[in-house]
Amino acid sequence: MASLEVELFGIRFENPLILASGVNDKVPEQWIRAHEEGAGGVVTKSIGIEPRAGYDNPTIVELPYGLINAMGLPNPGWKGFLEMVEGYTFDFPLIVSIFGGTPYEFAFLAEKLSDVADAFELNLSCPHAKGYGMEIGQNPENVYEVVKAVKDATDKPVIAKLTPNIDDITKLGLAAEKAEADAVSAINTLKAIAIDVYAKRPILSNRVGGYSGPGVKPVALRAVYDLARTLEIPVIGIGGITTWRDAVEFLLAGASALQIGTAVSLRGWGVFREINEGIKAYLESEGFSGVNDIVGLALEE
């Protein structure tokens, strides 16, 4: 029997699938549901210092091959987040996603939320929130400063989530690694737009959003491949993973674990179990004993 278990930065995951930070992870009930349906771990919605209502509707456009969303980083703020999780115990790794406008803000959040987080994912890559995410994360120096500030503020593992909206994503990965990030995750959404031909204007209230889903998979796979070839630290693959074949491709390209978001929106919570079963069947049919046996095989010359 092939094992799906993986260990990352000292944390054990039942399997390599993690619920991605996005539209299905606002409240603890959703995190618990994801785990019950087969996710090995969960990343929360991005949490900031102050509560944010997010953008006005419409915030999501569904396309034939994915979604464009511009939610505007809605969240309850760090105090509201702590109130929300009070009384809950989670029997799976909880990765708290945080965002800020400066290294100090990221570090402040990491310090305040360290008691509830098993690890932190730094949102250095949201493509539509002015002053946050991608606007900070496109610059390797900024990535270095943010990661370093957070590492100084917490002893929990730190994952830098990288933007694909740059000429060479490995520059960002190397900056994160230099600052002693425990892992990187890639990719966040691609900057995108959709236009209503009858209204003759962009559909989203924010005009520009982030494109996710099956259409971004080849771009995400290439980013993971490049990062895994370049970095010593683990890479967590994100972007259009919808089937077990997609998952196996990312593992072969060097991803040590995988995040799934849009597929949950498009296909339901059952995708976790379905993908896990497919990975297991593949490992057994190909004669491998566990997930780690195939990580990075496609990198070999």
Indicate which residues carry an active-site annotation. 126
Annotated binding-site positions for substrate: 45, 69-73, 123, 188-189
**Residue 8 is which amino acid?**
L
DSSP, collapsed to helix, strand or coil, labels residue 177 as helix
Token pair of 298, please?
Answer: 């496609």
Report the distance separating Cα 265 and Cα 11, nearest Å: 27
For residue 280, what are the CA distances in angstroms to 35, 39, 157? 18, 14, 28
Report the distance separating Cα 160 and Cα 31, nearest Å: 21
- For the CA atoms of 271, 265, 70, 214, the dihedral, rounded to the nearest 10 degrees, stands at 50
Who's near 251: CB < 8 A, 6+ residues apart?
A: 16, 237, 258, 279, 291, 294, 295
Sign of the alpha-carbon dihedral angle for 212, 180, 116, 98? negative
Place of tokens 């969303």: 69
Query: What is the number of other CB atoms lying within 10 angstroms of the CB of residue 170?
Result: 20
For residue 170, what are the CA distances in angstroms to 32, 49, 178? 34, 29, 12
| 297 secondary structure, DSSP code | G
Annotated binding-site positions for FMN: 21, 45-46, 123, 161, 187, 213, 239-240, 261-262
DSSP, collapsed to helix, strand or coil, labels residue 103 as helix
Annotated binding-site positions: 21, 45-46, 69-73, 123, 161, 187-189, 213, 239-240, 261-262
